Amino acid sequence: MAKILMQTTIPYAEDDWHVGRFSLLRDLLAREHQVVSRDREDGPDGLDPVLATLDASAFDQLWLFAVDTGEGIREAECRAISAFRARGGGMVVVRDHMDLGSSVCDLGGVGAAHHFHSKNVDPEIAAAGRDDRETTAIDWPNFHSGSNGDVQEIAVVEPVHPLLQREGGSAMRFFPAHPHEGAVGAPADDPTARVIARGTSTVTGRPFAIAVAFDGSDGEGRAVAESTFHHFADYNWDTRSGAPSFVGEEPGSQIANDPSLLDDIKRYASNVAGWLGAR
């Protein structure tokens, strides 16, 4: 059993992506692990007291939901989080479109896997420009994998990573879809990192990476970088859970009509927790 911290990068706000909007994931992980879920809290020094001391904590894993617009993690917190992984802590770092969650760029190792509109820009993605062209307030990266409430068929990269294997050994096929996913990639200078799954745009047909796994080395913890937190959000598992008022796209109904389409992402989340393990 691992001790897992599920943490957002923003203080609680009812009409935003607070940690309560990931309750279905929390409940799933809590079947086998000890889970603490919380939103960012600023102490008297402006630092989150948990993130700023994470390297000295009893947590084994950090599942970080970067839902900020660029200021979600302070420099001292980045140092503590990076030291946490350097000492064996496991990490999942998820973000979303454009610059949403761009504060993760300053994290050691895993931060380099995340590409944004104005930080750690991928020149190829920048040159291609917008993918989702319907929500005009959101610019690249914004890969359209489908509607919230629907699923996308993923392309599992060979060799199949253990994270993407079902209980019987077959490769997973479906992840929750989202109209504007962000961009991740394996840092060229990190031999422990590789893209393990890709999606395909429903608008342009462009392939894009959706998950990067870091195997870790020399005592360093394992890690996963995800293209969007919508793979794990309550709204994308059950649209009846609701979303912040600024989400304006019409949801789909594939999962509502066939809840078994969530089997892969649920198994994936369990696989990730087990793979990251305990320090």
Give the tens place of pLDDT for each residue, 185-204: 999 999 999 999 999 999 99
pLDDT, residue 216, reads 86
Show Cβ contacts of residue 90 under 8 Å, excluding neighbours closer than 6 positions.
2, 60, 61, 62, 221, 222, 223, 275, 276, 277, 279
Distance CA 99, CA 97 (A): 6
What residue numbers bound the domain in which 218 lies?
A: 3-276
The model scores a pTM over 0.75: yes
Indicate the DSSP class of residue 261.
Answer: G
The count of domains in the chain is: 1
Average of per-residue pLDDT across 118-125: 96
Convert the pLDDT of each residue in 139-154 to its tens digit.
999 999 999 999 999 9
Distance CA 57, CA 62 (A): 11
If one counts every other C-beta atom within 10 angstroms of the C-beta of residue 36, the result is: 15
Contact 163, 175 (CB under 8 A): no
Domain harbouring 78, CATH code = 3.40.50.880
pLDDT tens digits for 98-120? Answer: 999 999 988 989 999 999 999 99
pLDDT of residue 38: 98
- Per-residue model confidence (pLDDT) at position 218: 85
Instruction: Report pLDDT for 245.
Output: 97
Percent of the chain with pLDDT over 70: 100
pLDDT at residue 205 greater than cutoff 90: yes
Please enumerate, as own/partner, the contacts of 255-264 that have beta carbons within 8 Å and a separation of 24 or more. Answer: 255/149, 255/150, 255/151, 255/176, 256/149, 261/151, 261/174, 262/176, 262/237, 263/166, 264/166, 264/172, 264/173, 264/174, 264/175
SS3 per residue for 153-206:
ECEECCCCCHHHECCCCCECCEEECCCCECEECCCCCCCCEEEEEEEECCCCCC
CA-based torsion, 187, 188, 189, 192: positive or negative: positive
